[in-house]
Structure 1
Amino acid sequence: MQDYQKQLVLNLLAYAVQKNVSPEELCARSGLELDQLTRTESDSLHPEQVASLWRNATRLSNDALFGLHFGESLQIAALGVVGELIRHSQTVGEGLTYAIAFIHLITDVVDMAIIHTDRTFDIRLTPNATYLANMPDVIHQMMDFFMAFTLHEVDGLVLKKVQPVSVKSKFTETNQAEYERVFRCRHLVNSADYALSFERGYWDEPILTADYELQTVFLRKATTLNDAFQQARGLSERITNFLLANAYLGIPTLEAIAANLNVSSRSLQRRLQQEGVTYQQLTDSIRKSLAIHYLTSGQYPTKEISYILGYNELSAFNRAFRRWTGTTPVNYQKRSVNG
Structure 2
Amino acid sequence: MNAYQHQFMWHLLAYAVQRNVSLPALCRANGIDEPAFRAGRLPDLTEQQVVMIWQQIGAATNDPLLGLHLGESLQLAALGVVGDLVKFSRTIGEGVMQAAAMLPLVTELWRMDVETEGAVCTIRFTPERPEGSQPLSFLHRHMLDMLLAFTLHEVNGLVFSRIAPVTVGLPYETAETAEYARVLRCDEIRTGGACYLTFDRHVWHEPVLTANYEMQQYFLKKAGEMMQEKALRQSLRDRVESYLMTNAYLGIPTIEAIAANFNTSARSLQRHLQEEGVTYQQLADQVRKTLALHYLEVRNYPVKEISYLLGYNELSAFTRAFRRWTGTSPSMYRS
Q: Which range, TM-score by smaller chain?
A: 0.7 to 0.9
Aligned to 1:82: 82
Q: State whether residues 70 and 146 of structure 2, in contact with CA within 8 Å, keep that contact through their aligned partners in structure 1.
A: yes
Q: State whether residues 173 and 192 of structure 2, in contact with CA within 8 Å, keep that contact through their aligned partners in structure 1.
A: no
Aligned to 2:177: 176
Larger mean CA deviation between 107-116 and 91-100 belongs to: 107-116
Aligned to 1:126: 126
CA distance in 1, matches of 2:304, 2:27: 42
Partner SS state of residue 153, structure 1: helix
* Residue correspondence of structure 1 range 144-163 to structure 2 within 5 A: 144-163=145-164
Classify 1:208/1:41 alpha carbon distance in 2 versus 1 (closer, same or farther; 3 Å).
Answer: closer
Q: Structure 2: which amino acid aligns with 1:210?
A: A
Classify 1:24/1:166 alpha carbon distance in 2 versus 1 (closer, same or farther; 3 Å).
Answer: same
Aligned to 1:91: 91
Aligned to 2:68: 68
CA distance in 2, matches of 1:117, 1:236: 36
Q: Structure 1: which amino acid aligns with 2:269?
A: R
CA distance in 2, matches of 1:262, 1:163: 47
Q: State whether residues 4 and 105 of structure 2, in contact with CA within 8 Å, keep that contact through their aligned partners in structure 1.
A: yes
Is residue 49 of structure 2 the alignment partner of residue 53 of structure 1? Answer: no
Classify 1:42/1:141 alpha carbon distance in 2 versus 1 (closer, same or farther; 3 Å).
Answer: closer
Aligned to 1:217: 218
Q: State whether residues 120 and 199 of structure 1, in contact with CA within 8 Å, keep that contact through their aligned partners in structure 2.
A: yes
Q: 1:323, CA displacement in angstroms?
A: 1.9
CA distance in 2, matches of 1:316, 1:146: 41
CA distance in 2, matches of 1:316, 1:186: 48
Q: 1:131, CA displacement in angstroms?
A: 9.1
What are the Cα deviations for residues 296-315 of structure 1, in whole angstroms up to 9, with x where unaligned? xxx85596799789469987
Across the aligned residues of Structure 1 and Structure 2, the Cα RMSD in angstroms comes to: 3.9
Q: State whether residues 111 and 241 of structure 1, in contact with CA within 8 Å, keep that contact through their aligned partners in structure 2.
A: no
How high is the TM-score relative to the length of structure 2? 0.80
Aligned to 2:253: 254
Structure 2 unpaired stretches of 5+: none
How high is the TM-score relative to the length of structure 1? 0.79
Q: State whether residues 29 and 56 of structure 1, in contact with CA within 8 Å, keep that contact through their aligned partners in structure 2.
A: no
Partner SS state of residue 224, structure 1: helix
What are the Cα deviations for residues 212-233 of structure 1, in whole angstroms up to 9, with x where unaligned? 1111222222222222222112
Classify 1:202/1:265 alpha carbon distance in 2 versus 1 (closer, same or farther; 3 Å).
Answer: same
Q: 1:192, CA displacement in angstroms?
A: 4.6
Percent identity at matched positions?
39
Is residue 24 of structure 2 the alignment partner of residue 24 of structure 1? Answer: yes
Classify 1:21/1:40 alpha carbon distance in 2 versus 1 (closer, same or farther; 3 Å).
Answer: closer
Classify 1:175/1:20 alpha carbon distance in 2 versus 1 (closer, same or farther; 3 Å).
Answer: same
* Count, aligned residues: 328
Partner SS state of residue 261, structure 2: coil
Q: State whether residues 127 and 143 of structure 1, in contact with CA within 8 Å, keep that contact through their aligned partners in structure 2.
A: no
Q: State whether residues 128 and 241 of structure 1, in contact with CA within 8 Å, keep that contact through their aligned partners in structure 2.
A: no
Aligned to 1:337: none
Q: State whether residues 318 and 329 of structure 1, in contact with CA within 8 Å, keep that contact through their aligned partners in structure 2.
A: yes
Q: Structure 2: which amino acid aligns with 1:110?
A: W
Structure of larger gyration radius: 2
Is residue 168 of structure 2 the alignment partner of residue 167 of structure 1? Answer: yes
Q: 1:112, CA displacement in angstroms?
A: 1.7
What are the Cα deviations for residues 13-66 of structure 1, in whole angstroms up to 9, with x where unaligned? 111112211122233344544445567775421111111111111111110010
Is residue 137 of structure 2 the alignment partner of residue 139 of structure 1? Answer: no
Partner SS state of residue 94, structure 1: helix
Q: Structure 2: which amino acid aligns with 1:116?
A: T
Partner SS state of residue 182, structure 1: helix
CA distance in 2, matches of 1:41, 1:19: 20
Aligned to 2:229: 228
Partner SS state of residue 111, structure 2: strand
CA distance in 2, matches of 1:155, 1:262: 46
CA distance in 2, matches of 1:121, 1:267: 43
Aligned to 2:272: 274
Q: 1:116, CA displacement in angstroms?
A: 2.8
Q: Structure 1: which amino acid aligns with 2:137?
A: P
Partner SS state of residue 129, structure 1: coil
Q: 1:10, CA displacement in angstroms?
A: 0.9
Q: 1:71, CA displacement in angstroms?
A: 1.2
Partner SS state of residue 155, structure 2: coil
Structure 1 unpaired stretches of 5+: 335-339
